[in-house]
A and B are shown apart, each in its own frame.
Chain A
Amino acid sequence: MNTIAVQGAALPPATRNRDTAAERRATLFLLGPAMTFLALLSIWPFAYLIYASFTSYQLAIPIPIEWVGIDNFTRMMSNPRFWRSLGITVIFALVAVPLQIVAGLGMALLLNGVTRGREVYASLFLIPMMVAPIVVGFSWNLFLNPIYGPLNSFLKAIGLNPPAWAQSPEWALPTLVVVDTWQWTPFVMIVLLAGLNSIPQRVYEAARVDGSTRWQTFVNIVLPMLFPYMMVAFVLRFIDSFRVFDIIYILTRGGPGTATQNLAYYTYDMGFGRFEFSIAGALSIIQLVLLTVGTMAILGFAKRRDKGPISDAPLPPTVFNAAAQSAMGAKP
Chain B
Amino acid sequence: MTTTVSPPVADSSLPETETLAARLSVIVKHVVLVVVLALFLLPLAWLLLTAFKPYAELFTSPPSILPVNGTLVNFSDGWAIGGGKGIGDSLIVASISTVLCLVLGYPAAYALARRFPPHGQLSFTILSLRMMPPIVPVIGFYLLFQELSLFDTYTGLVIVYTFMNLPLVIWLLAEFIRQIPKTYEEAARIDGAPWYRLFWDVLFPLSAPGILTAGILAMIFAWNEFLFALVLTGEKVITLPKALASFFLFQQPNWGQLGAIGIVAIAPLLVLSYYMQRFLIRSFSVGSGGR
Contacts and interface: CB of A to CB of B under 8 A. Distances in A.
Interface residues of B, number: 111
Contact of A114 (B26, B110, B136): B26
Contacts of A268: 135, 138, 227, 231
A114 B33 contact: yes
Given A33-B108, A110-B32, A319 B144 contact: no
B182 A3 contact: yes
Interface in B85-134: 104-105, 107-108, 110-112, 114-115, 117-120, 123-124, 126-129, 131-134
Given A42-B129, A52-B143, A133-B226, A143 B288 contact: no
Given A123-B277, A198-B286, A52 B139 contact: yes
Given A197-B281, A245-B135, A319-B175, A130 B272 contact: yes
B170 interface: yes
B240 A287 contact: no
B41 interface: yes
Q: Which of A107, A117, A191, A322 has the most CB of B within 10 A?
A: A322
A135 interface: yes
A307 interface: no
B195 A147 contact: no
Contacts of A37: 104, 162-163, 166
Interface string A102-138: 0000010011011001011111111110111111001
A45 B224 contact: no
A46 interface: yes
Given A34-B107, A198-B285, A317 B175 contact: yes
Given A42-B137, A245-B227, 12 more contacts: A30-B108, A34-B170, A35-B108, A38-B163, A49-B143, A119-B274, A128-B44, A135-B241, A135-B265, A157-B62, A272-B230, A314-B286
Interface of A: 1, 3-4, 7, 22-23, 26-27, 29-31, 33-35, 37-38, 41-42, 44-49, 51-52, 107, 110-111, 113-114, 117, 119-128, 130-135, 138-143, 147-150, 153, 156-157, 182, 187, 190-191, 193-195, 197-198, 205, 208-209, 229, 232, 239, 242-243, 245-246, 249-250, 263-264, 267-268, 271-272, 277, 280-281, 284-285, 287-288, 291, 295, 314-323, 325-327, 330, 332
